[in-house]
Amino acid sequence: MTRHRVVVTGFGVISACGNGWEPYWDSALQGRSAVREVERLKLNGFSFKYAGTIRDFDPKQYVENRKSLKVMSREIQLAVGAAKLALQDAGLFGTAYDQSRFGVTLGTGIINNDLDEIGVGFKNAIDGSGRFSMAKFGQEGVRSLFPLWFLKYLPNMPACHVSIAYHLRGPSNTITTSSAAGAQAIGEAYRVIERGDADIMLAGGTDSKLNAMGISRFHLLGLLSKRAGLPEHVYTPFDERHDGIVLGEGAGILVLESLENAKRRGAPIYAEITGYGSSSDFNFDPRDEDDFTGKRVAMRRALEDAGIEHHDVDVIVANGSGVPQGDIQEALAIHSFCMGSFDKQSVTALKSVTGDLVYGSGGVEAVIAALIANKRVVPPVTNLKKPYPECPLPLVRDKAKSADVTNVMFNNFGFGGQNASLVFKHVKA
């Protein structure tokens, strides 16, 4: 079976850093966090102070069909927006590509309902005694909901909207493996091109948990950081002060393309994707500090797929969620993966730049991982002052570091125990 080589030819990012990959890359290089005090949500004193909120995204700039906007949740809008930016960056937007050889694979999760939108149905189901009545909900409640309400929240809708907006008729998939979904979607799209089922794929992730249901769920799970301080300094993965996640929102989409196709149309190539591995953690308890084997196995599989050895890896872009157990597990996994010796590797982590995009994190962070392979510069871990002693990794601190980068390992690990790793390789101009 012929295996096609797959390259990265475009990036589309919408995040708290701004629109397009450039402001995101710039923030990462400067070690500048886009986490701010929360403005958009009025939370009436509930202590949720900081987030990587997108401030200047106007969906109308990205969605031509205004009627479509009504059936798009924020996650869908962000995906359609990032997809447009990616197509533009790859020089594909508005060109005549072969639609049947062009597909999309996105990582998404449960899209949370807008409480005001769904709330109407429940408010209209309150009976005379002031209680919720299922009998009333079945009629008046249901009838008062927006008829297409349901369509805004199905997890496969971001990929469907992207395929409709840009006429992509090739393979379409939606991956829902927790915070590993974004990288896994990229890995799966890579496979689709590798085996010849498409020439080009849009791949990445989208998410926004900056809504009441999302915040509530993360709060209940005890995963959120409780620290106070300067907003841009509060999110500190791998630092001794790490105490949890600061949420962000956004979408990151890569254009993956067969090498032949990219060459044929003379597209600039950012990097080659050469490895993908996935696994599930072997123990059940996500808080088990000793269970790093699943994570190591995902990295090993990506490495073997790329046909390289651990000492060929120059940079590891860690998942680094800032949840102490997760950071420790990952540090152990990386340690064990590198067999305890880091002769030339550097490790960085990106979540403190934008906040944690959860199901969408793999999409945006993969953009930086591919850019590291492209530009041979490694951004520092933003907000890393004093590394947590149990995470003894060669973390890049304070400022970006130039390095002779050939292979970049990118980790995206989910809190449900799903893991995905990718390898991006430098391509000589």
Among 30, 59, 160, 401, binds another protein (CB under 8 A): 160
Q: Which residues, numbered 268-287, are part of the site for another protein (CB under 8 A)?
A: 277-280, 282-284
- Residue 307 binding another protein, by CB under 8 A: no
CA distance 141 to 403: 60
**Integer angstrom CA distances of residue 198 from 106, 149, 195, 274, 353:** 15, 33, 8, 17, 33
Q: How many CB atoms lie within 10 A of CB 371?
A: 24
- Residue 48 binding another protein, by CB under 8 A: yes
CA distance 76 to 156: 10
Residue window 196-235: x/- pattern of binding to another protein, with contact defined by CB under 8 A: -x--------------x--xxx-xxxx-------------
Among 84, 161, 397, 426, binds another protein (CB under 8 A): 161
**Shortest reach from residue 174's CB to another protein, in Å:** 5
Torsion angles phi and psi, residue 110, rounded to 5: -65, 130
Q: Which residues, numbered 162-191, are part of the site for another protein (CB under 8 A)?
A: 163-164, 167-178, 181, 184, 188, 191
Radius of gyration of the chain from its Cα atoms, rounded to whole angstroms: 21
C-beta of 85 vs 215, nearer to another protein: 215
Q: Which residues, numbered 60-89, are part of the site for another protein (CB under 8 A)?
A: 68, 71
- Residue 104 binding another protein, by CB under 8 A: yes
Residue found by looking up tokens 């990036």 in the block: 11
Determine the interface stretch with another protein among 133-141, 313-321, 323-331, 421-429 (rule: CB under 8 A). Answer: 133-141
Query: How many helices and strands, by DSSP H and E, does the chain display?
Result: 14, 15
**Integer angstrom CA distances of residue 137 from 127, 128, 244, 407:** 10, 13, 38, 56
Determine the interface stretch with another protein among 122-130, 314-322, 341-349, 382-390 (rule: CB under 8 A). Answer: 122-130
- Under 8 Å between Cβ of 370 and 8: yes
Give the CA angle between residues 266, 267, 268 to the nearest 5°. 120
C-beta of 45 vs 340, nearer to another protein: 45
Q: Which residues, numbered 309-368, are part of the site for another protein (CB under 8 A)?
A: none
C-beta of 184 vs 261, nearer to another protein: 184
- Residue 156 binding another protein, by CB under 8 A: yes
- Residue 126 binding another protein, by CB under 8 A: yes
